Amino acid sequence: MAEHLAGRLAQLVEHLVYTERVGGSSPSLPTIRRVAFGSILAFSALFGPTAALADPGSMTFRVQPLETSACGARCPHVIVADGVIETGTPQAFVDFLKSDVDDKALRRVVFINSRGGNVAASMMFGRILRELRAASVIGRFDSGREAGPYAGECLSACIYAMMGAVRRVAPPGSEVALHRMSIVESEGGGWGAPPRVMRSFADAPMVATLAKYASRMGVNPALVRAAESLPPDTVHVLTREEMRRWSFATSQF
C-alpha cells in the first residue's frame, strides 16, 4: 500500500506557505493568475486540439487544497495531475489553467502521478511546466476522508514531463522508474490469421533529442542514456543517489 505522506510533506507545505507570506530563503512561487499564456499556447498549438473522447486512463487535472494545521484556511491550492500522458494532454493542461486562472490561492505547484505515456507529449508538458516556472512533486491525492497527499509514481515517459519543473521533488515513498521507449504496431491479419506485431525502439537521433532536452532542463543526459540502454520490458527504479547524481529530483522541497 502506498505510504501516506501527510506528515512528511507537512514541512514542505509549511515552507511553501512561509515563503509566500513573508519571503524565505528560497523564492516565493507566484500565483497562477499572473501567468501570460501567449507562449504556452504557441507550444500547445503544435499538438492540435484535444481529442473529444479521452481514454479513461488519460491524465486529468484538478485543484486540491493542501491542508495542514500550520496554515489552516491560508493553505495554498495546488494542481493535481493524475493519469497517462497522451498527445492531447499538453492542450488539456493549458485549457485547465485557463479555467482556473482566477483562483487566488492556486500556486505553481503540480503534484504528478503517472505511469507514463507518449514521450513527445511528455516533453511538451514539461516545456509548459518550465514556461510556468512550476514546481512538481511526485505524489497523488485520493478521494475520501484522508485525501492525501500520498506517495505517487512517475514512470517511463513521465520523467520527461517532470524534467520541465524548476523544482523537482520525489518525497520518500514515491517511485521514479526508467523504461526504454518503444512503439508497438501491428499489420496484416484477417481471414483467421493473427496480425503481425512489430516493435521499434528510439533511433540515435531521437535519443540525442531526448538527451538535449534533459540537458536544457538541468538534468544530466546520462539519465536518458541509462533509460535507453535498458533491456526491453525492463523497469529500473531510481535510487535516491541516482536521482541526486543525475540532478533529477531531491527528496525535500
User: Is position 5 within any domain?
Assistant: no
Q: Is the pTM of this model over 0.85?
A: no
What pLDDT is attached to residue 47?
Answer: 36
CB-CB contact of 162 with 154 (8 Å) = yes
What pLDDT is attached to residue 238?
Answer: 95
| Residue segments in the chain with a per-residue pLDDT below the cut of 70 | 1-56, 67-73, 100-101, 143-148, 182-194, 196-202, 253
Number of domains the chain is built from: 1
Q: Give the β-pairing of 167-169 and 153-155.
A: unpaired
Cell of 29: 512561487
| Per-residue burial over 217-232, b = 16 or more CB atoms within 10 Å of its CB, e = otherwise | bebbbebbebbbeeee
User: Is position 221 within any domain?
Assistant: no
Residue 147: give the domain boundaries. Answer: 10-179+233-245
Q: Round to whole Å and give the CA distance between 197 and 25.
A: 54
User: Is position 57 within any domain?
Assistant: yes
Cell of 232: 526491453
* CA 201 to centroid of chain Cα atoms: 23
What pLDDT is attached to residue 36?
Answer: 44
Q: Give the β-pairing of 77-82 and 106-113.
A: parallel
CB-CB contact of 181 with 228 (8 Å) = yes
User: Is position 185 within any domain?
Assistant: no
User: Is position 93 within any domain?
Assistant: yes
What pLDDT is attached to residue 48?
Answer: 34
User: Is position 34 within any domain?
Assistant: yes
User: Is position 206 within any domain?
Assistant: no
Tallying the residues shown for the chain, one arrives at: 253
What pLDDT is attached to residue 93?
Answer: 94
Q: Where are the beta strands (DSSP E) in the chain?
A: 60-65, 77-82, 106-113, 135-140, 150-151, 153-155, 167-169, 175-179, 182-187, 196-201, 235-237
User: Is position 92 within any domain?
Assistant: yes
Q: Round to whole Å and give the CA distance between 235 and 59.
A: 21
